Amino acid sequence: MAKIDSELSRTFSEYLLLPNLTTREMGTENVSLVTPLIKFRKGEEECPMQLNIPMVSAIMQSVSGDRMAIGLARAGGLAFVFNSQPIESQCEMVVRAKKYKAGFVSSDSNLKPDDKLSDILRLKEKTGHSTVAITDDGSANGKLLGIVTSRDYRVSRLSRETAIKEFMTPISEVVYGEEGISLSEANDIIWEHKINQLPILDKEGRMVAFVFRKDYDRHKENPAEFLDDHKRLMVGAGINTHDYMDRVPALIEAGADVLCVDSSDGFSEWQKDTLDFVHEHYGPDFPVGGGNVVDEKGFRFLAEAGASFIKVGIGGGSICITREQKGIGRGQASALLAVAAERDRYFEETGVYIPLCSDGGIVYDYHMALALAMGADFVMLGRYFARFDESPGRTLSVNGNYVKEYWGEGSERARNWQRYESVGDDGQMLFAEGVDSYVPYAGKLKDNVDKSLAKVSATMVSCGALTIDEFQKKARMVVVSPTSIVEGGAHDVIRKDT
């Protein structure tokens, strides 16, 4: 008969932290959220790759594209560009993120001179941007022939059928900068000529990027940026256990700094084969994470297979229905506590510290703090990041509320058969392990991340800790009852905001 684990499968919401003494020097401004990303010999050397904030984005179509990679790395975290797409397009996303330079924005609004005013209006509605580059081929890298801004036309006085070339500002009248110019020099030109945008062109007159006046303040300081040795943004990429022999070389050639095997269940020989391939061809130190696991055996398996970090969690994501479809998984808190204990035992035996990534189960901001206290070095978030401007999902108005599309990698929409094995002879998924949904639109990534991490820092201070390592050593927790959960929120009052 089956072996039964007598421990309850618990979630983050079933725990609360007990406060410790907060000393005078423990202000939130003194908290450090720097955390190791990959394994290292703790106590003997410093981790060669450290996140500046303990957040990475999920390997999902609706979460991690090149815009998320740029936005999250600038905030100090890391995005893993999703792999449920052709190798070529995933590599293109990695390249765009690695080529990004703060303040230099690739144009996402481009048309040809023979297009019409109606095309301008349609594009503006789609992107929300009023500046349109007019190039010979209508691409972001075509030869620039002119620019259209909202000052170049009045809808009430111009037919929607009017060709763009009739009202655009021609290149002869456009102030531009040459490729290689610094951001400081570009901003000087913008202020000197009293313009709102400066196109950057190569020697052949082809578009390279835009620099916008409105971005000046936004790009002055980003002290937490996660950068490589060449001052480029760090970019992660997901891989699978099917086409890794082709995908891995292409992604590394494109510039991916870290890889992570995207699998709902990492306790498998296929995952070991994938890790072996990476380390055999790119060296034992090339960073590649493994997962997902929920217990001691799964951790040991991936640790011995050479995983640089290990993801913990099966079925805890807001979009995931693996547990109800297959009966596989474990409450995220229980899984994390068990794996963290085994990670610490492994460290005592070998001297090698393998960071843990808590993947799933985060509903509230304080759950991030709980995950860190329970042993996670960083958290992987899907729903959280899907709400922001930087995610790939469309922003829609549903019942008067702005939302963003969010779908799971196990959903019919994602059709990620390389992650889930439930595929019939005709190539169709036999059953889904994720759903297609909406999440409330929340605006810009940085604004939300700053707020969430301010809460995490405040929690750490209340627990008498200024670093994540200290937090884990000092944290004290209690299990809460259902009624104390109710007590923890507003109750027995009539709230003014309802």
Edge-first strand order for the sheet with 197-201 is 177-178, 197-201, 207-212
Residue type at position 230: H
In contact, 250 and 87? CB cutoff 8 Å: yes
User: Which sequence positions are flagged as catalytic?
Assistant: 320, 419
Kind of pairing between the strands at 288-293 and 258-261 = parallel
| Secondary structure element (H or E) that encloses residue 184, with its range | helix 183-193
| H helices present in 203-361, as ranges | 244-254, 269-282, 296-305, 322-326, 332-350
Q: How far is CA 49 from CA 45, 113, 381, in A?
A: 12, 47, 20
Edge-first strand order for the sheet with 395-398 is 395-398, 401-407, 436-440
Nearest to 316 by CA among 249, 361, 256: 361
Using CA atoms, how far apart are residues 18 and 273, in angstroms rounded to an integer?
43
The residues near 370 (Cβ < 8 Å, ≥ 6 apart) are 12, 15, 17, 333, 477
Instruction: Determine the length of the chain.
Output: 498
Q: Is cis: bond before 292, omega within 30 of 0?
A: yes
